[in-house]
Chains A and B, each alone.
Chain A
Amino acid sequence: MKKYVIVGNGSAAVGCIEGIRSVDQTGEITVLSAEKHPVYSRPLISYLLEGKTDTERMKYRGDSFYEDNGCNLMYARAESFDTGAGTVSLDNGQTLPYDELCIATGSRPFVPPFEGLDTVQNKFSFMTLDDALGLDRVLTQESNVLIVGAGLIGLKCAEGIRNKVKSITVCDLADRVLSSILDSDCAAVVQKHLENSGIDFLLSDSAVRFDGDKAYMKSGKTVDFDILVLAVGVRANTEIVKSAGGTVNRGIVVDDRMKTDLPSVYAAGDCAEGFDSSLGANRVLAILPNAYMQGHTAGVNMAGGEASFNNAVPMNSIGFFGLHMMTAGVYEGDMTEEKTDAGIRRFFVKDNLLKGFILIGDVERTGIYTSLIREKTPLDTLDLDFTKKVASSMIYSQKKRRKMFGGVV
């Protein structure tokens, strides 16, 4: 009977468990969780503060998940592993044997060495349930919050706490909001909407020094605050693999089967650097769907099955104060743009393929477009008109549609 050890307890770990169990129903699975919670939906922490969910409903799987899947969940941190002995060493002194190991350690907040950061009393990251609960405890209607970082994490935090505080200022060294997923024009649309919703911005600017409840900015401005949220960026937790001799770039390097270059060691989720088929190169795709799918792929392969995940692309669906946006792929090639009442839609086409899109406002049935990127569907086989407000399977030939909707998929 195989012994599986999964280091980490997020959505990649769940994918791994479900992947293993799709092949092997009896092997022993041990899950190591550094956070003292059963798995929860990490991206929901902002919705928790907003009141759209609660700690019960944000459970990613039901209460009996570990038991139903024959898993031993341990609240312990893995410190190292030995590929020769096939063992994992834990921070509680225990050593666990493994036959197959999955590293699903996720990422951690990157905190730049700000001068005077230790003088700030109320400072938080916004990555974990405990971060969110800690932040929630100090928020009051009189709070002035400074958020460093106008990325997905910083802005979701801003939305989540907007109605609980007096003011929110978001600063970022980048010249626009959501710089990892939006180009300048699209970011301007979103920024305006956020400003109308009561968020203030200091862009192309960042804090260089803190003194108690005052931030001194690069521009020379100062910002008074009582609560500081640091959402500058994240770093993949790769150290455990690096010190075991595995190849690490920005993330743990894996192949299409999620195998690292160490024997019987796999990696999945935000800690891993897999192939991005839209980019044609490896990169960390720190999004939940990718984490689950990588984890599932790893699990199937660990259990002796055959699975390959070779069509991963970056993709995000996110909304702020009622304005929704979806992005996917890379923004390369010829751009087609449609401005609508609701926002803006941009499609990027190169070499007869849809390479990427940014859709703000109208997002109905966008998965039809995402699928064209993932499947690399040649556009000359389609009747595609990007000016149409809503995606439709009318783009396909009748024959293709008959196959899509007439059979078991």
Chain B
Amino acid sequence: MKRVYVNEEWCLGCHLCEYNCAFANSGMRDMVAALKDKKIFPRIHVEGDDKITFAVSCRHCTDPICVKSCIAGAISKRDGVVRIDRSKCVGCLTCVLVCPYGALALGENGTMQKCELCLQNLCGAPACVSGCPNKAIVYEERSDAE
């Protein structure tokens, strides 16, 4: 199962992944029209300080606590991908209360959104990865924790 991994030694903290994510999930074909002068709601975010930065997105856990905790039954895991049915979400934020990675955030319409690896949008593969200028974000198969 391929997942998104971040190498924090290579992360420049440029936040381009956030913009590429927001664009990829906008459903629009023109990046300027999709993002210009708008507050963006990316499904990946950069954390850190002036020395260390790293991007965080859903780990698609083997045993995802968000799936077990969702009070609306809106989060499920299929084919290795943790997905959210936003039509069922009521924005209670229980998933935010339980995710140890801080990987879920509210979207612009008050329902939760999360990384679904760009498998359902026009990209078909994670836009954060293809757009990372320093190749700090990769999309690959790994067997166990390094």
Chain A residues proximal to chain B, CB less than 8 Å: 11, 14-15, 41, 43-44, 47, 52-53, 57-61, 288-289, 292-293, 296, 315-319, 324, 326, 328, 363-368, 370-371, 375, 391-394, 398, 401-409
Which residues of B, 42-87, contact A by the 8 Å Cβ criterion? 47-49, 52, 54, 56, 59, 61-62, 65, 68-69, 71-73, 87
Contact of B88 with A58 in the complex, beta carbons under 8 Å: yes
**Which residues of A are found within 8 Å of B97, using beta-carbon distances?**
315-317, 326, 328, 363, 366-367, 370
**Which residues of B are found within 8 Å of A58, using beta-carbon distances?**
72, 88
Contact of A324 with B68 in the complex, beta carbons under 8 Å: no
Contact of B73 with A409 in the complex, beta carbons under 8 Å: no
Contact of A44 with B90 in the complex, beta carbons under 8 Å: yes
Tell me whether B115 is interfacial, beta carbon within 8 Å: no
Contact of A364 with B102 in the complex, beta carbons under 8 Å: yes
Contact of B68 with A408 in the complex, beta carbons under 8 Å: no
Tell me whether B108 is interfacial, beta carbon within 8 Å: no
Task: Report Cα–Cα, A408/B72, bound state, in Å.
Answer: 27
Contact of B90 with A293 in the complex, beta carbons under 8 Å: no
Task: Report Cα–Cα, A407/B3, bound state, in Å.
Answer: 9
Contact of A405 with B6 in the complex, beta carbons under 8 Å: yes
Contact of A60 with B72 in the complex, beta carbons under 8 Å: yes
Of the candidates B52, B92, B144, the one whose C-beta lies within 8 Å of that of A317 is B92
Contact of A296 with B68 in the complex, beta carbons under 8 Å: yes
Which residues of B, 85-142, contact A by the 8 Å Cβ criterion? 87-88, 90-102, 105, 142
**A318-B92 CB under 8 A given contacts A57-B87, A398-B8, A406-B145:** yes
Chain B residues proximal to chain A, CB less than 8 Å: 1, 3, 5-8, 47-49, 52, 54, 56, 59, 61-62, 65, 68-69, 71-73, 87-88, 90-102, 105, 142-146
Contact of B96 with A365 in the complex, beta carbons under 8 Å: yes
Contact of A53 with B88 in the complex, beta carbons under 8 Å: yes
**Which residues of A are found within 8 Å of B72, using beta-carbon distances?**
41, 44, 53, 58, 60
**Which residues of B are found within 8 Å of A292, using beta-carbon distances?**
68-69
Contact of B91 with A406 in the complex, beta carbons under 8 Å: no
Contact of A401 with B8 in the complex, beta carbons under 8 Å: yes
Question: How many A-B pairs with Cβ below 8 Å?
Answer: 133
B52 shortest CB reach to chain A, Å: 7
**A59-B62 CB under 8 A given contacts A368-B100, A370-B100, A393-B56:** no
A357 shortest CB reach to chain B, Å: 10
Sample of 8 further A-B pairs with CB below 8 A, known A367-B95, A401-B8: A60-B72, A289-B68, A292-B69, A296-B68, A317-B92, A368-B102, A405-B5, A406-B142
Interface pairs A-B: 8 shortest CB-CB: A407-B145, A365-B102, A289-B69, A371-B100, A60-B73, A367-B99, A317-B97, A47-B90
**Which residues of A are found within 8 Å of B47, using beta-carbon distances?**
392-394
CB nearest to A375 among chain B residues: B100
Task: Report Cα–Cα, A43/B54, bound state, in Å.
Answer: 36
Task: Report Cα–Cα, A393/B3, bound state, in Å.
Answer: 19
A299 shortest CB reach to chain B, Å: 12
Contact of A319 with B92 in the complex, beta carbons under 8 Å: yes
**Which residues of A are found within 8 Å of B99, using beta-carbon distances?**
365, 367
A400 shortest CB reach to chain B, Å: 11
**A405-B93 CB under 8 A given contacts A59-B73, A289-B68, A368-B102:** no
A348 shortest CB reach to chain B, Å: 16
Task: Report Cα–Cα, A247/B65, bound state, in Å.
Answer: 30
**Which residues of B are found within 8 Å of A402, using beta-carbon distances?**
8, 146
Contact of B142 with A407 in the complex, beta carbons under 8 Å: yes
B137 shortest CB reach to chain A, Å: 11
Contact of B56 with A317 in the complex, beta carbons under 8 Å: no
Contact of A57 with B98 in the complex, beta carbons under 8 Å: no
Task: Report Cα–Cα, A11/B71, bound state, in Å.
Answer: 9
Task: Report Cα–Cα, A393/B1, bound state, in Å.
Answer: 24
Of the candidates A43, A61, A406, the one whose C-beta lies within 8 Å of that of B146 is A406
**Which residues of A are found within 8 Å of B56, using beta-carbon distances?**
393, 405
Contact of B96 with A398 in the complex, beta carbons under 8 Å: no
**Which residues of A are found within 8 Å of B90, using beta-carbon distances?**
44, 47, 52-53
Task: Report Cα–Cα, A321/B91, bound state, in Å.
Answer: 12
**A326-B6 CB under 8 A given contacts A296-B68, A368-B100, A370-B100:** no
Interface centre among B49, B52, B65 (most CB of A within 10 A): B65
Contact of A406 with B100 in the complex, beta carbons under 8 Å: no
Task: Report Cα–Cα, A285/B81, bound state, in Å.
Answer: 29
Of the candidates B8, B61, B71, B143, the one whose C-beta lies within 8 Å of that of A288 is B71
Of the candidates B49, B94, B143, the one whose C-beta lies within 8 Å of that of A408 is B143
**Which residues of A are found within 8 Å of B54, using beta-carbon distances?**
393, 401, 405
Contact of A398 with B52 in the complex, beta carbons under 8 Å: yes
B119 shortest CB reach to chain A, Å: 18
Task: Report Cα–Cα, A318/B87, bound state, in Å.
Answer: 19
